Amino acid sequence: MSKTEEKQATLNDYLRILIRRKWLILLCFFCLAGSATAFSFLVTPIYQARATIMIQKEGKMEDQIFSISSMMQSDTRIKNQVEILKSRTLAQAVVEATLDSPQKKAFRNMAKTKPTFSPSKDQLIRVIQDNLSATPIRETDIIEVKMTAPDPQLVAFLANTVASEYYKQSLQFSRGEISEVRQFLQNQLGIVQDSLNQSEEELKNYMESHDVSALPDETKELVKQLAEFESQFNGTKIELESNEKRLAYMKRQLDERKGQLLDEITQISTPVIQNLRNEMAELEAMRAEYVSQGVDETHPKMQQILNRIKETKNKLIAETTQLVSSNLTVKDPLAYSQDLLCNILNLEIEIQSLTAKAEGLQRIVNRYSAKMNQLPDKSLRLARLERSTKVGENIYLMLKEKYEEARIKEAGQIGNVRIIDQAVAPDSPIKPKKKLNVLLGVLFGLLLGGGLALVLESLDTSLKSIEEIENQGLSVLGHIPKIRRTKRIKKSEKEQTQVQDKEAGKIASNLITHFAPKSPVSEAYRTFRTNIQFTNLDSPPQTILVTSPGPGEGKSTTVANLAITFSQMGTKTLLLDTDFRRPILHSIFGLEKEIGITNYLVGKAPLEMVIKKTQIPNLDIVTCGVIPPNPSELLASEKMKSFLEQLKAEYQMILFDSPPVIAVTDAAVLSLLLDGVVLVACARQTSREALARAKTLLENVKAKMLGVVLNKVEAKSTYGSYYYYYYYHYYGDREETKKLKRRVKRSAKTVEPISEWQPVQPI
């Protein structure tokens, strides 16, 4: 694999990412898990009750509003009932029933949006519709009715009320036609009874006032026949009106389903149908005529007439049905019942037959009435009173019989809805599901935190590992762990800050190679020093420039500690502050800035005055001096070259602290005079693009790149806690090793330097 190829991420890489961003993950975890837990325990619990209803395919009557046409598929039939269950009409009935029950207060509270708010009836209806669900059970005629509410007793009551009101509506619709007929017969029965009572009273009064006891036999027979035919005529009229009531009710049903068919049904006519109607009228007239002549229905001639009437009626029904089937286009077969349509057609023909029969009986009644009008006045009055009384009695008995039949038939109609199971008050709510919500909150919190960590990691272009530096074709000279700010370091930093600026104080406290020479960080600096020495065994570099792509990446700390490590091995070392824009080495070591390198380059001070001694053996420092207006020109001057030659004669290692290479050209200019350049990159701060740009700028001036040192590396995330253990196990004593074993178990939160902290005193 080439150096420029990206290293494939491993599971350990992902684990390091998650550990590095653990606080983000924990924040997402506690936020979502806490929110889910708070929601689960604070939200109002919702209960659900369930009732089941079965829809039978046929009721007791053929023409119910709830009957299902054979044209419709079973699923369509059930879906229609589901829509009825969710209709506003049913919801309104449920609201009215609930407001008249002990649950009305809980129901009103359920619909309240504010404590002082009183919900209207429309709002209560919407509450029922919003909390009601009706679901058909597959491959059955059963519908499951579910209701939700914040009160277990209320939700069971509402579910049962929905089922009950639906059953009542089904029963009401299925009884509608026969109830209307019964009501009509009941009204007529009262009218006929009043009329009969009046006729009987008038007959009695007349006979008493005129001292008449009876009519002659011939007149009695005439009155008897007239009363008989008039009773038949009135009975036919009542039956005709009853059928007309039924027809009107059926038309209202059909009007609700397919209103535009009404006129077509009632006005259907063809020459054949018209001839059949005329023929049936003639046959009914002949039948009435035979009856008037006293011919019994068992007589052959009467039987022939009855058979012809039956045949004509069947032909009329068949012809009308065929015409409807062939000429009417059903645009919406779900909107009406075919059975209902057939019943309307049959009833229309029955009404036509009864009309023809009534007309025939009317003619016979008129004929007998004309005969009776020829009687003497006294007999005529008595005959009329007796006829009226007999007709009233016959009609009353007939109506009484039909009324009782209708009442029994109405009571026997049970509809096509059956409640299978009533709802019971639930023991536990369906919402919120506390355990599930908390579990989902934990799960999504971890997923969100982990996802955000990976996303932020992918968006983060900063350097995090040695491999990323090597992928850019650069050698890695070392990696310096991040210096943990122990109590001793913070104390020293405070003491240093009292005599110098804050930034310099922090850097001074980070001179760990001096204050803690046996620490793992100091060992990392010594490894860095060794790698520099081995960059060229034949001609080791003597003058080295230490720079960085940008500011704040630790180049001054790095070059100071590197100089100390060289001095500790007995190498006579000189550290020069060539950062003419933001010099800081003088503050780190407690020296004066003036009388430095710039003073020498402009001829204001001799070489002996600019070199300053430190308390660290074998380490001298040349400070910046007065900040010049033209740093780049001074560094590129001949004076600088001669100055450098003089220093080489006196020192074995000369280190230069310079400004960032991207910010200014000072480092690029100075690098031409030196043996090599070391780039300092800060882990999780220096971007890959910045490092590549710094490399390009140095290559453009033909600078000799020794390599890169990765600074401020998180030791735990890179090496693991055992990095410390292995070092101390090798370099430390047994007692310290035992301490570090315990520290390893606590994930090595801090690095305790072995040697005592010795703050540097100003020279």
Q: Where do the structural domains in the chain lie, given as residue ranges?
A: 47-175, 212-263+275-294+313-411, 472-745
| CA separation for the pair 751, 492 (Å, rounded) | 16
Query: Which is more confident, 27 or 493?
Result: 27
On the CB side of 119, CA atoms within 13 Å amount to: 21
| 8 A C-beta contact, residue 361 and residue 225 | no
Residue range 404-455, pLDDT digits in tens: 776 776 665 666 788 889 999 999 998 888 899 899 999 999 999 999 988 9
| 8 A C-beta contact, residue 97 and residue 165 | yes
Token digits of residue 246: 């039924």
Q: DSSP state, 755?
A: S
Residues comprising the chain, all counted? 763
| 8 A C-beta contact, residue 3 and residue 397 | no
Q: What's the average model confidence in pLDDT over 91-108?
A: 90
Residue 315 has pLDDT above 70, yes or no: yes
Please report the pLDDT score of residue 30 as a whole number: 92
What end-to-end distance do the CA atoms of the chain give, in Å? 53
Q: What's the average model confidence in pLDDT over 270-294?
A: 70
Please report the pLDDT score of residue 620 as a whole number: 94
Please report the pLDDT score of residue 720 as a whole number: 41
Q: Which secondary-structure segment (H or E) carries 705?
A: strand 705-713
Rg over CA atoms, the chain: 56
Closest CA to 480 of 399, 555, 585: 555
Residue range 123-156, pLDDT digits in tens: 899 999 999 999 988 878 889 999 999 999 999 9
Token digits of residue 737: 């090793």
Banded pLDDT at 371 (limits 50, 70, 90):
low
Please report the pLDDT score of residue 4 as a whole number: 43
Residue 444: CB atoms within 10 A of its CB come to 16
Please report the pLDDT score of residue 749 as a whole number: 42
| CA separation for the pair 328, 261 (Å, rounded) | 8
Residue range 165-175, pLDDT digits in tens: 988 887 777 66
| CA separation for the pair 427, 309 (Å, rounded) | 68
Banded pLDDT at 755 (limits 50, 70, 90):
very low
Phi, psi of 682 (to 5 degrees): -95, 125
Q: What is the pTM of this model?
A: 0.53
| CA separation for the pair 63, 256 (Å, rounded) | 14
Residue 114 has pLDDT above 70, yes or no: no
Banded pLDDT at 345 (limits 50, 70, 90):
low
Per cent of the chain over pLDDT 70 is 67
Please report the pLDDT score of residue 196 as a whole number: 67
Domain spanning 472-745: CATH superfamily: P-loop containing nucleotide triphosphate hydrolases (3.40.50.300)
Instruction: Out of 213-217, 270-274, 314-318, 561-565, pick the least confident.
Output: 213-217
Query: Which is more confident, 58 or 82?
Result: 82
Please report the pLDDT score of residue 322 as a whole number: 62
Banded pLDDT at 224 (limits 50, 70, 90):
low
Please report the pLDDT score of residue 25 as a whole number: 92
Per cent of the chain over pLDDT 90 is 26
Q: What's the average model confidence in pLDDT over 278-301?
A: 71
Token digits of residue 120: 């209207």
Percent helix, strand and coil across the chain, each rounded to 5? Answer: 60, 10, 30
Please report the pLDDT score of residue 564 as a whole number: 94
Please report the pLDDT score of residue 500 as a whole number: 46
Query: Which is more confident, 302 or 566?
Result: 566
Closest CA to 223 of 395, 362, 379, 399: 379
Residue range 652-689, pLDDT digits in tens: 999 999 999 998 888 999 999 999 999 999 988 898 99
The partner residues of 419 in beta bridges, in order of sequence, read 53
Please report the pLDDT score of residue 269 as a whole number: 56
Residue 2 has pLDDT above 50, yes or no: no
Please report the pLDDT score of residue 242 as a whole number: 72
633-637: long-range pairs with CB below 8 Å, 24+: 634/580, 634/598, 634/601, 634/602, 635/578, 635/580, 635/666, 635/669, 635/670, 635/673, 636/669, 636/672, 637/601
Please report the pLDDT score of residue 464 as a whole number: 80
Residue 732 has pLDDT above 50, yes or no: no
| CA separation for the pair 541, 485 (Å, rounded) | 33
Banded pLDDT at 13 (limits 50, 70, 90):
confident
Q: What is the DSSP string of 616-669?
A: STTEEEE---SPPS-HHHHHTSHHHHHHHHHHHHH-SEEEEE---TTT-SHHHH
**Each residue of 386-423: b (16+ CB within 10 Å) or e?**
bbbbbbbbbbbebbeebbeebeebbeebebbbeeeeeb
Token digits of residue 735: 């007692």
Torsion (CA) 732, 734, 737, 742 in degrees, nearest 10: -160
Please report the pLDDT score of residue 744 as a whole number: 44
Peptide linkage before 432 cis (omega within 30 of 0): yes
Residue range 45-67, pLDDT digits in tens: 999 999 999 887 654 333 333 33
Residue range 526-549, pLDDT digits in tens: 999 999 998 888 888 999 999 999
| CA separation for the pair 739, 48 (Å, rounded) | 62
The partner residues of 545 in beta bridges, in order of sequence, read 656, 677
Mean confidence (pLDDT) of the chain:
76
Please report the pLDDT score of residue 491 as a whole number: 52
55 Cβ neighbours under 8 A, 6+ residues apart = 66, 68, 77, 78, 81, 141, 142, 143, 416, 417
Residue range 468-527, pLDDT digits in tens: 888 888 999 998 888 765 555 455 545 544 444 555 555 656 788 888 888 888 899 999
664 Cβ neighbours under 8 A, 6+ residues apart = 581, 631, 632
Please report the pLDDT score of residue 731 as a whole number: 46
Closest CA to 612 of 604, 601, 620, 602: 620
